[in-house]
Amino acid sequence: MRTAALSLLSMSLIHCGVPAPSNPPTPGPVERARPRATPGRRASPPRRVKVTFAGFFEDRTMRVDLLHRGTASTESYRVAALVLEGAWAGSRKKLLDPFPYGAHRFEVRDLASGALLYSRGYSSLMSEWRTTREAKRRGKTLSESLRFPRPKRPFELRIFSRGTDGKMHPIFRKGLDPRRRARPWKKMPSVVVRSLHRAGPPHQNLDVLILGDGYTSAEASKFWRDASRFAAVMLADPTFGAHRDRINIRGLWVPSPVSGVSEPRKGLLLHTPLGLSFDTFGSARYLMTEKNLALRRIAAHAPYDALYIMANTSRYGGGGIYNLYSTFPSDNEYDEYVFIHEFGQSFAGLADEYFTSATSTENMYRSTIEPADPNITAFIKGRFKWRKLVLPTTPIPTPPKARYRHVVGLFEGAGYKAKGLFRAQLDCKMKGKGHVGFCRVCARAIGRMIGLYSR
Ligand SMILES: [Zn+2]
């Protein structure tokens, strides 16, 4: 099964939070903000404005559905709809993203003053599709959604994409009026949400939502058993468990007309509510969905900051995209490993630390550009992110010897590269499939990310 594990690991490299270096984003036509609601006012330069949640937001979730079109060398966005979901689940105090992770970043600015109200980094299925061979031949459009607290007044949405230079470049901007266009979400009577672990109110805690796909009505009790088991796995993990008093976990069951999920290579195409499918982008174990709108309509029944989708299957596979969702199988020998590993990627923006699998996209990271990911470094000019955690007695770089097994150092080999990229510890949940927890640097990144969503 070692081979199978490596296959999954090499598969998961295509869902890291950076686009392929060979694809510089070509800014699409920039849609200028049209300040219809405030004629004559300019959106920039921003004025000094004190931004508070109560001053600029209502306690509702605004969802902007976008159409993200791309080829290997171009990309563009278009707004498809504004949807008003339920109460805002995120923090009312931490509105700006302090982290540099992800292939994209979005900003919500007050249209009248230009003040930055909200920001988040994220990655997308499109940013990965653009790295495929198919993207060199044709374009594709995928649905995506951005969620943030509902602004009280007209706002400007700005979207940036990371280029080959590692920096964010503007791709899209548009003025939107939440009072004119937003329509309310619609409740579906068949969806059931239950708490699996409660720490406290959504504003002050990380809200994790586990959705099931491919569970029939007859399998409802199996869904709740499975979801409870994985909630317990998360709380038993030393890193996540240490923050259990700041994590809410909910399960969401939606009945599927058929059991299991799609496996196109076997000719199995199932119409499940969330549309999970193996063989995504031709990668056998890559388990994702392109049915973003279905996912969003169903997930809107619960407050959430982070999404998990559990496939009712015993087949090995999974996937995780930063600040989008992660997936895992319900009944595979390695399901608990996939569950935690992929969440490290989708929730905390962690990079894969392994480097032994031969992959077709081994140039995903360059050793000449410092990756944004918190747990790998190119060690340029002697600098690396976790230097403060290294004892003065530890050699830098650190030899991969047993006596350094438990220390934080600078070990060469990470991010699919045996040379030129470094990780912090000899082993980590982001490196191998063994019974090892997150290294101290990954654990620190997870703790900081939980902090962004709690208290
Ligand atoms: Zn690590």
The CATH T-level fold of domain 186-349 is: Collagenase (Catalytic Domain) (3.40.390)
Q: Which pLDDT tens digit goes with each residue over 280-327?
A: 999 999 999 999 999 999 999 999 999 999 999 999 999 999 999 999
| DSSP secondary structure code for residue 92 in this structure | S
Integer Cα distance of 242 and 426 in angstroms: 22
Integer Cα distance of 451 and 65 in angstroms: 27
53-180 shares its CATH topology with 186-349: no
Span from the CA of 340 to the centroid of ligand 1 (angstroms): 12
Span from the CA of 398 to the centroid of ligand 1 (angstroms): 15
Q: What confidence score (pLDDT) does residue 37 get?
A: 38
Mean pLDDT of 98-116: 97
Residue 147 backbone dihedrals phi, psi, to 5 degrees? -125, 140
Locate the domains of the chain by residue range.
Answer: 53-180, 186-349
Q: What confidence score (pLDDT) does residue 238 get?
A: 96
Mean pLDDT of 79-90: 96
Span from the CA of 345 to the centroid of ligand 1 (angstroms): 11
Structure-model confidence comparison of residues 255 and 8, the more confident one: 255
Span from the CA of 117 to the centroid of ligand 1 (angstroms): 32
3-state secondary structure of 6: helix
Is residue 161 predicted with pLDDT exceeding 90? yes
Q: Which value, in Å, is the radius of gyration of the alpha carbons in the chain?
A: 21
CA–CA distances in Å: residue 75 to residues 29, 105, 124, 275: 9, 14, 12, 24
CATH number of 53-180: 2.60.40.3250
Is residue 15 predicted with pLDDT exceeding 70? no
- Using CA of residue 401, residue 403, residue 406, residue 410, what is the dihedral sign? negative
Is residue 38 predicted with pLDDT exceeding 80? no
Span from the CA of 423 to the centroid of ligand 1 (angstroms): 7
Q: What confidence score (pLDDT) does residue 411 get?
A: 97
Is residue 357 predicted with pLDDT exceeding 70? no
Starting at the edge strand that comes first in sequence, how are the strands of the sheet with 168-176 ordered?
116-122, 104-110, 155-162, 168-176
Span from the CA of 250 to the centroid of ligand 1 (angstroms): 27
Strands 192-197 and 247-253: antiparallel
Q: Which residues pair with 140 in a beta bridge?
A: 70
Q: What confidence score (pLDDT) does residue 454 get?
A: 92
Label residue 363 by pLDDT band (50, 70, 90).
low
3-state secondary structure of 169: strand
Span from the CA of 443 to the centroid of ligand 1 (angstroms): 7
Task: State the pTM of this model.
Answer: 0.89
Q: Which pLDDT tens digit goes with each residue over 174-226?
A: 999 998 889 999 999 999 999 999 999 999 999 999 999 999 999 999 999 99
The overall average pLDDT reported for the chain is 89
Starting at the edge strand that comes first in sequence, how are the strands of the sheet with 75-84 ordered?
140-151, 57-70, 75-84, 183-184
Integer Cα distance of 337 and 277 in angstroms: 20
Is residue 253 predicted with pLDDT exceeding 80? yes
Structure tokens at 358: 């031969």
